[in-house]
Amino acid sequence: MNRFESVLEKLCALKGAVDDLVTKGGGNRRCAEITERQRHQAFQEFRSVDHMDKWPNLKDIALIEAKRKSPVITRELARHLGYELVKVPEASRPADWSRAVGSLSKETGEALNVVLQAFATGSKIDADEIKRWHIDGELDEAIIALLRVKVMVEREVDEAQNGD
């Protein structure tokens, strides 16, 4: 794939994300209301690969993503840059730190176990094995558990610094 094809592929993926955002945002008319645009037809152009020169501005994206609590474009941009966008979980101060860390250990252990089980059948994991072993879900649960502990530790540090 040459550089032009790579850029075009990424732009088409972004158009797909715009289409998804407009759909989740309630359609062309609803997105126009959210962003206070005069022309709802603009959103049809934004989501169409036939209009590669038409894109929503950052304010439009921010307003729709905030209204729908769904960072569709932000997630796609992060993915293109090699990042994974993950919602930070709610976390309260644990009554028992050993139980909180134990939960983390359980989640990460389960995730690693399903990966090892999938590899037991060969040297590669294919899409069927990812589905069969629920690998994505297990890894997501482990990431969320890690983030929850990170948030709890950061809260402890903040409280210690603020004298709470």
pLDDT per position as a tens digit, 150-161: 888 898 898 889
CB atoms within 10 A of CB 69: 8
- CA distance linking residue 39 with residue 28, whole number of Å: 9
Q: pLDDT tens digits, residue range 44-101? A: 999 999 999 999 999 999 999 999 999 999 999 999 899 989 888 888 888 888 888 8
**The pLDDT value given to residue 122:** 79
**The pLDDT value given to residue 164:** 65
CB atoms within 10 A of CB 61: 22
